[in-house]
Structure 1
């Protein structure tokens, strides 16, 4: 079944985070945020798991995978509550790309982003690559997200408030959708022995954060050259077009590393420091200088796409920051 395939795919990417470094960080009383979970998967028309019951890829299948994965994690939080209550504060933004039969499905919960590099003809009949953002984001800095939160929680005037000039959900977190973050999804996890900085003064009946992704479906064309999947740490320092230009003007091998370096150079410039000095800063401190960054660059093969086979396109992956997840 397609739903089983996607569920295993998303869950397999999520579980290593739950079992690994994030738990150690939670034990050190950190925020437990592990932003930058993003994956690409190519499912060809001939995948037997897709055809075993005559079902194909759909937005409902991907949504089910997100929700089921989130429920499984909340079950883990419940089973570990007495021994490791801070797991309730572990959460991640999640961006997934699935290519199937010439269609690109983008599912996003949080503020990661995917940008397409597309060839376009100019007025002088020259070619240039334009940036096209394909994903929708869920960050309280956006008026549309704040309005959605207010509509979902009409009786809570504090559902989204500015804190230190930054809009935050309940004054705590910037994203309105995520995997994990059990303390803002079930009231049973928003109490002692959870750290006081995560506990709300009032209980709540329905989830404050959602795990349901926003899904966009894009029909791939020969003009579509590549996709940049990246956590918000990259987009804080590079515009969509800047990132696309870097990829377009670089060799494919190591291009994700080049994007990462460009973003870190901008981060250093904003701090009025040298890039070489930023690199020397201890990983445990660098979060104060820039957010964690995870990048996947996927190069599209128009011939492969048109044939709808399961052959994988070229992919360049790079992570950076504290922590890096790829």
Structure 2
């Protein structure tokens, strides 16, 4: 049975103890701890009177329904509507396959080898090479081994681990799916707690010294492959946990040919050429947002190597990456918003030219990586909520689904702002920006088509209204401005004369900042930098207290639900800056691909060369070239880089 994290009000199906019986339809009315038994329970109101109560147990009312329609079950007893339909129509279940494998093993009397170094009253890890045959006579599943374990699932909606049950966990190679089939049946064999498929390349995360009996990994549900869960298996001793990983790695290595890996000679050749091995990948990723050896952490899509830029929408008021725009409220706009505070441009700042680009980086271990950055350059509408403000944003996605996350924020933000009643009021603009980001984050977390447990994005969001620049910052992207300083006579230099100085308008949220570190440690997380054999350490990263994940190189991020458990927050830091004509010449906002090896002053020095001509595209091209050159001098990879530059009159 597929594990399931329910939500109150959601339609579910309760699996019967006898799996041949059809599941019973109902609605979740309660989810959480109870007084009648330890652990998390789900209270379901059934459509039929197949329950045991009215939502009350031992005099405690958890929800209200008709007598006989209430039932409390463990989360692992539930199926979604999709899972129930697939379960009903499935011709060959995992139970049939594994049972067939065991029967054939019993008949053959051979093919069994123990891989455990520990002997107890119960089998620690029992190895097997038996196979189950499909109707066509071909091998479909080969049972690898089984081990006693306790299973947990991470509930990303409340950032908690939920226990699914304890029993025998069986690992098998599913030839048809080309994945590892994992099934855990509870101790009395009455129900399945886990029925998942694990990608053969999935990383099994090593926990820290406090919890070496547990291992964390990702898997997709067998009956709903598009839904991925973060699972944890906990073993009774450190020895069994160690044997589990060794056995799994041994089996994966033995099945290298089956899962399509190249021969050792070809693999070495490819590793020499592309750095496509775990150690090399981990070292190459040392400066990137998320650490790890999984080559798909940067996002992966066949054919993505042909796409250099991140897609961005195009409307009459929205620029595509690379286009040049200007901003100043037209006379028509001023007439429409003359009664709104801050809408008039008479005392405002005129943007003579702005442009931006989102450039994909380089990952030798993942040629088809996605550009996970996104950019927004848009004039908001004049509709009673907005007054034609200029919206400029950069988003830096990370994790396997980081590109989906950053693009959702880029696509939704202007719509959310355009319907916020208090957005046009200066005193509320900052809080509305922060609330809009949280609104979109919640939408993504609830979207089952996008797994945000280990994926997220940073954000620098700016709103220019009149002469006020509002900034909301989450993560380690940055916005800076170039300013003139008055000479000894108290006069600002003419354009092209005198040096332009950089002033940061946001602060990078890094884990080693004292206030950020203190919050993370207080929440139970850890902060440390990974060390490498070449002597060059990576940046400080955020880790769970019990496992070496997620390894984020920033202390604030949108989504990243597992990171939230370690103290990573999505609270935007808000700023409001008054721009001064003549003094303030331009702003530049960019993802950390630009700032990794370049200071704000170095960036502003390059942009300053183009102040007279107000040419943002040429300035951005020079910044990209210089940034790429510095990445190549330091590392074999280049991070995605998104830059927006706006020149003021």
TM class, shorter-length: 0.5 to 0.7
Q: How much does 1:35 deviate?
A: 6.0
Q: How much does 1:36 deviate?
A: 4.3
* Partner secondary structure for residue 453 of structure 2: helix
User: Which of 607, 621, 627 is equivalent to 1:257?
Assistant: 621
* Partner secondary structure for residue 266 of structure 1: helix
Taking the aligned partners of 2:593 and 2:606, their CA distance within structure 1 comes to: 17
* Correspondence for 1:176: 555
Is 1:161 paired with 2:528? yes
Taking the aligned partners of 2:431 and 2:503, their CA distance within structure 1 comes to: 24
Residues 1:213 and 1:35: Cα distance change in structure 2 (over 3 Å)? farther
Taking the aligned partners of 2:468 and 2:425, their CA distance within structure 1 comes to: 12
Structure in which a larger fraction of residues adopt strand = 2
Taking the aligned partners of 2:372 and 2:527, their CA distance within structure 1 comes to: 20
8 Å contact from structure 1 (residues 116, 131) kept in 2: yes
Q: How much does 1:34 deviate?
A: 7.0
Residues 1:269 and 1:144: Cα distance change in structure 2 (over 3 Å)? same
Is 1:30 paired with 2:297? yes
Is 1:89 paired with 2:454? yes
Taking the aligned partners of 1:237 and 1:167, their CA distance within structure 2 comes to: 16
* Correspondence for 2:445: 74
* Correspondence for 2:572: 213
Residues 1:94 and 1:35: Cα distance change in structure 2 (over 3 Å)? farther
User: Which of 219, 236, 241 is equivalent to 2:596?
Assistant: 236
* Correspondence for 2:605: 245
* Correspondence for 2:425: 56
8 Å contact from structure 1 (residues 105, 215) kept in 2: yes
* Partner secondary structure for residue 567 of structure 2: coil
Residues 1:118 and 1:62: Cα distance change in structure 2 (over 3 Å)? same
Taking the aligned partners of 2:380 and 2:465, their CA distance within structure 1 comes to: 5
8 Å contact from structure 1 (residues 36, 230) kept in 2: no
Q: How much does 1:60 deviate?
A: 1.0
Name which of structure 1's ranges 208-217 and 59-68 shifts more when overlaid on structure 2: 208-217
Taking the aligned partners of 2:295 and 2:596, their CA distance within structure 1 comes to: 26
Taking the aligned partners of 1:289 and 1:141, their CA distance within structure 2 comes to: 24
Stretches of structure 2 that go unaligned for 5 or more consecutive residues are 1-293, 300-369, 388-418, 532-536
The 5 Å alignment of 1:1-326 reads: 29-30=296-297, 36-40=373-377, 48-50=384-386, 55-57=424-426, 58-76=429-447, 79-80=448-449, 86-123=451-488, 127-151=498-522, 153=523, 156=524, 158-164=525-531, 165=537, 166-170=539-543, 171=548, 172-185=551-564, 204=565, 208-222=567-581, 223-250=583-610, 251=613, 252=615, 253-270=617-634, 288-301=636-649
* Correspondence for 1:192: none
Residues 1:110 and 1:168: Cα distance change in structure 2 (over 3 Å)? same
Residues 1:267 and 1:28: Cα distance change in structure 2 (over 3 Å)? closer
* Partner secondary structure for residue 502 of structure 2: strand
8 Å contact from structure 2 (residues 620, 645) kept in 1: yes
* Partner secondary structure for residue 571 of structure 2: coil
Stretches of structure 1 that go unaligned for 5 or more consecutive residues are 1-26, 186-203, 272-287, 302-326
Aligned length: 228
Residues 1:242 and 1:29: Cα distance change in structure 2 (over 3 Å)? closer
Structure in which a larger fraction of residues adopt helix = 1
Residues 1:38 and 1:50: Cα distance change in structure 2 (over 3 Å)? same
TM-score where L is the length of structure 2: 0.32
TM-score where L is the length of structure 1: 0.62
Taking the aligned partners of 2:378 and 2:521, their CA distance within structure 1 comes to: 35
8 Å contact from structure 1 (residues 114, 133) kept in 2: yes
Higher relative contact order (CA closer than 8 Å, sequence separation 6+): 1
Residues 1:56 and 1:211: Cα distance change in structure 2 (over 3 Å)? same
